[in-house]
Structure 1
C-alpha cells in the first residue's frame, strides 16, 4: 500500500507510473473529501488523484462518495471537469446526485450507496446478563472545532464538546449501562483530527468510562461496534458500521453528507448539523436510546435501498472492467 504524499504525487516514478501500470482507476475520494469544505491542500490532493489518470489516459471511475459541496472557484470548475472526464461517477446519496447534476450535467452519473455497508464483520458473542453497552464515537475533529483552530468551523447549531460531555454524564449515571469511548479515525500525525487523542483526554476527565482500543482495520472497528446495544457517532463510517450491523445509532452531523446519506434511507434519527441546539441534541439522543427498539426497526426498513445500491454499483463496475479489458 502506497502512502500518498507530496513526494509520491510529484515523482514521475510515483503516482503517475502506478496509474499508467493499471487498466482502470477507482477513486473513492476518501468518501467525503471531494468538496471544498476542508483545506485547500486537501482539495489539491483530491483533485490531483483524479487529474493525473485523466491526463494519462487511464479510465477513471469515481466510486461511491459525497459530491460537494462546492461553493467557490476554482474548486467548482475543477470538480466539474473531473466529473465530465471520468468514465462514471457514483454518488452515494440523493443530495450528492443533485449537486452532480448541476455541477456536471453531462457526466455519466449514477446514484448508489456507500460501499461501507458491505464491509464484512464478526459479531461478538455477548454473555448472559451482560450490561447495556453504549458506544460514544468521539470525533477528534469536532472536539478541536475543525482544522483551522476555530471553535466551530462548520457552523454547528450545537456545541459538540459540551454535548459530548453531557452525554457522558447522562449515560454514566444510568444503572446497568456501560459507556465506551470509541475512536474511529486514528491520525496521530494530525492531532486535531485524531479520535484517539480526544478519547484519551475524555478518559482522563471521566475515568469511569471505558476506552475502546484503537482499531487495526475497518472490519475490526465494525466488529466491535456490532457488539454494542447503541451508538452515538460523529464519524460517518462509524455510524454506517452500526447501521449496517443493525445496531441502533444516532449520527451526529457536521456536514450535509450525513443528511444526504441518511435522508436517502429515510432514517430520522440524525442530529442535524444546524437544526438543533445543544440541549435539544442531547435530549434527542437520550430519547433515541430509550426508543432503541423503534430505532432498530427504522434501520431494517432501509435494507432494500442498501441492497439495491450495492447491486447496481457491482453491476456497473463489472461493465467498466469488461470495457477496460478490451
Structure 2
C-alpha cells in the first residue's frame, strides 16, 4: 500500500471506534494503522485533510507512533454510559465515524458486557446524528434473543457495513441487514512495512513460528477454553523439534500479542520458554509497533502461527504460510481469498496439523505462488473499500 501523508485540504475529523494505537495485541494495532492509511488516502482523494480521533480502551504501552493528524482518546467503561461526558464530546467533534469493532468483537459469544461495550458506541454515534460506517470485520454470531435485534438495529442505521469474509457477508444477509453491504478483506493486509534485504543463496532458510500464549495456557480458564482437539503445547514442541532438527533451517519464535501485565495472553514469555528448551532457535524481539512486527515476519521464508494477524503479516508480504486456526475468522478471511492451507486446531488431529505444516514447508514455493495470486484479490477488495469510504467522505463537503 502507498502511504499517503497528510495533505492540505478542507479539514475533516474522523472518529475511529475500537481501534488502538498502543494495544499489546499487535493485530488490533495493525487494523488501526492500516485503516488510517486507507482513510487518509480516501480523504485526500476528495480534497480533505483528515484528522483522526482513535477511540478505544486505555492500554499501558507506549504509542506505536505519533503523527500530527492522529489524536488518541482512551476510554474506560464509565465513559460509555454517562451522557455528556468525554465520549459524547469526542463524538460531537467527528464528522463521521468508522467502527472496526476490534476486528472480531461485534458478537455475543463473549457475553453481554463485551457485546454492550461494542454495541453502545455505535448506538451513541447514531443518536448523535453522525454517519456511521462499520469497517471490515468479522460480524457475529448473535445467538442470544437480545443481541440479534440490537445488532440489526444499529447496522440498519449505518451508512454501510463492510465484512472481511464471505461467511460474515452471508450472516449479515441472513440477519436481515438492509444497509449497503460490501465484502472486502482484513485491512491489515494493506498495512505498510519495510521490505527485507536480499540474502545470499546459501543463507539459512528462515522459518517463523508464532505461538499463541493464550492457547498455550489453555485460554483464560486454563482448561482448553477454545476446545482444541489436541494438546497445543505438545503440538508446538513437536513443530519446534521438527524444524530444529533440520540443518538448513533457522527457526524464529515470533510473538504477536506481547503483554507485560497479562501473562495468560503473552506470546513472548512462552516463546522465551521454548527458546530455552530448544537451543539454536531465535527469539524475536518485543516489537514497538505492528509495522515493525510485519517487517520482521516479511523476512521469513516460511511461517505458521495461531495469531491470525501474525499470519496475515506473512501472507500479505508474500511469505508462504500455514495459519493454525482456532476460530471461524481464519477460515473466513483466508478461505474467501481461495487460500486453503489452513490447519484447524479445533477439528484436525495434531498429527494431521503437523503433517500439513511439514508439507507446507517442503512445498513452500507452490504456496508462495498461491499467496501471490490471492493477493490480487486482496488489492481489488481493499480498493473497493477505499472507493466506498471516499464516496462517504465526499458527502461531508
TM class by shorter chain equals: over 0.9
1:19-58 to 2 correspondences below 5 Å:
19-58=91-130
Match of residue 145 from structure 1: 218
What is the CA distance between 1:297 and its match in structure 2?
A: 1.1
Q: Which runs of 4+ in 1 moved over 6 A?
A: none
Match of residue 4 from structure 1: 75
Hey, what's the Cα distance between the residues in 2 that align with 1:8 and 1:278? Answer: 45
What is the CA distance between 1:74 and its match in structure 2?
A: 2.2
Give the count of matched residue pairs: 324
Structure 2 residue matching 1:302: 3-state secondary structure:
helix
> Are the counterparts in 2 of residues 89 and 109 from structure 1 also a CA contact under 8 Å?
yes
What is the CA distance between 1:180 and its match in structure 2?
A: 1.1
Match of residue 195 from structure 1: 267
What is the CA distance between 1:40 and its match in structure 2?
A: 4.0
Structure 2 residue matching 1:69: 3-state secondary structure:
coil
Hey, what's the Cα distance between the residues in 2 that align with 1:304 and 1:124? Answer: 21
What is the CA distance between 1:75 and its match in structure 2?
A: 2.6
> Are the counterparts in 2 of residues 83 and 104 from structure 1 also a CA contact under 8 Å?
no
CA gap of 1:196–1:39, structure 2 versus 1, over 3 A, is farther
1:93-112 to 2 correspondences below 5 Å:
93-112=165-184
Q: Does 1:133 align with 2:206?
A: yes
What is the CA distance between 1:87 and its match in structure 2?
A: 1.2
Hey, what's the Cα distance between the residues in 1 that align with 2:274 and 2:79? Answer: 36
Hey, what's the Cα distance between the residues in 2 that align with 1:247 and 1:156? Answer: 26
What is the CA distance between 1:150 and its match in structure 2?
A: 4.0
Match of residue 367 from structure 2: 295
Render the CA deviation track for 1:241-292: whole Å, top value 9, x for unaligned. 1111100000011111111111111111100243311111111111101110
Render the CA deviation track for 1:159-200: whole Å, top value 9, x for unaligned. 322211111111111112111110112233332222223223
1:226-265 to 2 correspondences below 5 Å:
226-265=298-337
Hey, what's the Cα distance between the residues in 1 that align with 2:120 and 2:319? Answer: 37
Hey, what's the Cα distance between the residues in 2 that align with 1:294 and 1:127? Answer: 20
Hey, what's the Cα distance between the residues in 2 that align with 1:285 and 1:78? Answer: 41
> Are the counterparts in 1 of residues 243 and 251 from structure 2 also a CA contact under 8 Å?
yes
What is the CA distance between 1:88 and its match in structure 2?
A: 0.8
Provide structure 1 residue ranges, at least 5 long, that are not aligned to the other structure: none
Hey, what's the Cα distance between the residues in 2 that align with 1:4 and 1:195? Answer: 25
Hey, what's the Cα distance between the residues in 2 that align with 1:273 and 1:223? Answer: 27
Match of residue 35 from structure 2: none
Q: Does 1:176 align with 2:248?
A: yes
Match of residue 193 from structure 2: 121
Match of residue 314 from structure 1: 386
TM-score (norm 2): 0.78
TM-score (norm 1): 0.94
Deviates more, 1:68-77 or 1:310-319: 68-77
Provide structure 2 residue ranges, at least 5 long, that are not aligned to the other structure: 1-71
